[in-house]
Amino acid sequence: MDKFVIEGPAKLQGQAYISGSKNASLPMMAAAILTDEEVILSNVPKLKDIDTMCKLLIKLNCKCKRLDNDDIFINCSGINSDFAPYELVKTMRASILVFGPLLARLKSAHVSLPGGCAIGVRPVNLHIAAMKNLGADVEIEEGYIVAKAERLEGATIYFDTPTVTGTENVLMAAALTKGKTIIKNAAKEPEVVDLAKMLKVMGAKIKGEGESTIEVEGVSKLRGVSYRVMSDRIEAGTFMCASLITGSTIELIDAPLYAMDAIVDKFIEVGGSIRKIDDSRIEIKGKKIEPVVIKTAVYPGFPTDMQAQFMAVLTLANGTSVIEETIFENRFMHVAELIRLGANILISGNKAVIEGVSHLDGATVMATDLRASASLVIAGLAAHGRTEVLRIYHLDRGYEALEKKLSSLGANIKRVKQ
Ligand SMILES: CC(=O)N[C@H]1[C@@H](OP(=O)(O)OP(=O)(O)OC[C@H]2O[C@@H](n3ccc(=O)[nH]c3=O)[C@H](O)[C@@H]2O)O[C@H](CO)[C@@H](O)[C@@H]1O
Ligand SMILES: C=C(OP(=O)(O)O)C(=O)O
């Protein structure tokens, strides 16, 4: 198990390249199941989750391999298995994204139920209800979703709560399902929009992506595609937090600002500034850390995936901040670890009250989930002395070469094998 060793405090300068989006790449890889032609995705980040999705596709008898650099090649012409085993699904919840495509392509799916995880229970009841609505018979047997769909037909699907991967599963299934499917209270996240754009290039008929009602007119066949994945707004936001907490000016290449309004607003409210250099480059400057109120919400609200990183920054604010987490019931696992670094944080229900302190001191801390890990790295950059972040395999699920990118900005951070 690797750990990070950080010697702080750091001052950063230079350029960081923002990789392709994990949460856009994963559904697009699953969408390759929908066609028997080649799919080439570019700008796919080198991450553990991407490797897991590739392994899962190979298990289904698709071909999946990384080409040069950031391209992934997938060909599902030989797909002949509908089985997504627990061994893979337990390591990555996003495996549930093969559910919709398998049903549409093979008329059956046998997909392990993802377990709970550190941030919450994360049920998939809405995915299952949606597939039933499209006409599938779905049972839960021995921890698996077992679904058959002799005759799928377009339907109106209403989500009680907008679910990102649920919306993506329905989009993919409906693209190959006879008739019109209307998704109401759909997720509007940019990654959903990017998936819809890819599906349209494949020949899908979709209207309304990015709005709360999406209409899909099913087609009988989808083509292969070559598609460039959007850049990762959460990675870009994480670098914004690194610049705030270290009071540094850095340049970001390929940050998808068009999808980052809520993050940029908070960055500026806390005390950052942004200057556009050209179409692909921005300069971000962390000047001071003012206390703020943050409430996570579905897009275009403030993303839950940025909550932990902003909390790390606010531990050093000039006053008291409040963060309310409304998406996941247990996404404050980083708090106890930030307290080990000297932070003053109280939790009451789904609210955290963060009293800014004058400084943080290095300590050994434990990463518990992906974004919690990132928040500990950010805090470690500002903490005085040595911070060890254990269990960074969580971080490797979703950040490409974070330690290399931070080192090249001047941080003293090393990956150490234990
Ligand atoms: C691979 C991927 O894209 N992951 C993202 C996706 O996760 P994911 O798609 O799993 O998250 P959802 O949007 O589904 O979850 C939103 C809320 O709906 C609830 N819910 C969801 C489905 C369901 O069947 N029943 C149900 O109750 C969840 O428990 C949660 O409270 O969106 C989350 C919210 O922006 C992000 O944090 C994740 O990074
Ligand atoms: C929670 C996240 O991912 P996943 O849904 O893949 O667990 C995340 O990206 O912060």
Residue-wise pLDDT for 287-333, tens only, equals 999 999 999 999 999 999 999 999 999 999 999 999 999 999 999 99
Query: Ligand 1, atom 32: nearest CA belongs to which residue?
Result: 164
65 lies in the same domain as 14:
no
For the Cβ of 75 lying below 6 angstroms from any atom of ligand 1, the answer is: no
Which atom of ligand 1 sits closest to the CA of residue 189? 35
Q: Which ligand is nearest to the CA of 371?
A: 2
Which atom of ligand 1 sits closest to the CA of residue 120? 29
Q: What is the CATH number of the domain that holds 9?
A: 3.65.10.10
207 lies in the same domain as 326:
no
Work out the burial of residue 151: count CB atoms within 10 Å of its CB; fewer than 13 is exposed, 13-18 middle, 19 or more buried: exposed
50 lies in the same domain as 100:
yes
CA of 45 to the centre of ligand 1 (A): 21
Alpha helices in 64-220 (DSSP H): 86-89, 99-106, 125-133, 164-175, 190-201
Q: Which of 370, 393, 402 to mutate to test the pocket of ligand 2 (most atoms within 8 A of CB)?
A: 370
36 lies in the same domain as 96:
yes
Structural domains in the chain (count): 2
Place of tokens 């919450």: 120
Work out the burial of residue 150: count CB atoms within 10 Å of its CB; fewer than 13 is exposed, 13-18 middle, 19 or more buried: exposed
For the Cβ of 116 lying below 6 angstroms from any atom of ligand 1, the answer is: no
Instruction: Give the per-residue pLDDT at 151.
Output: 85
143 lies in the same domain as 241:
no
117 lies in the same domain as 154:
yes
204 lies in the same domain as 146:
yes
**CA–CA gap between residue 203 and residue 200 (Å, rounded):** 5
Q: What does the CA dihedral 177, 178, 179, 183 come to, rounded to 10 degrees? A: -10
Residues identified as active-site:
117
CA of 2 to the centre of ligand 2 (A): 20
Q: Which ligand is nearest to the CA of 26?
A: 1
The annotated binding site for phosphoenolpyruvate is made up of: 22-23
Q: What is the ipTM of this complex?
A: 0.99
CA of 304 to the centre of ligand 2 (A): 10
The annotated binding site for UDP-N-acetyl-alpha-D-glucosamine is made up of: 93, 305, 327
**CA–CA gap between residue 53 and residue 75 (Å, rounded):** 13
**CA–CA gap between residue 360 and residue 166 (Å, rounded):** 40
Instruction: Give the per-residue pLDDT at 192.
Output: 98
Instruction: Give the per-residue pLDDT at 115.
Output: 76
308 lies in the same domain as 177:
no
Q: In this structure, are residues 376 and 406 in contact, taking their beta carbons and an 8 Å threshold? A: no
Alpha helices in 259-390 (DSSP H): 261-270, 307-314, 334-340, 370-382
Instruction: Give the per-residue pLDDT at 409.
Output: 98
Segments in the chain below pLDDT 70: none
Query: Ligand 1, atom 16: nearest CA belongs to which residue?
Result: 163
Instruction: Give the per-residue pLDDT at 300.
Output: 98
Closest CA to 224 of 22, 81, 26, 33: 33
Domain that holds residue 30: 22-228
Q: Which ligand is nearest to the CA of 232?
A: 2
Instruction: Give the per-residue pLDDT at 118.
Output: 86
354 lies in the same domain as 378:
yes
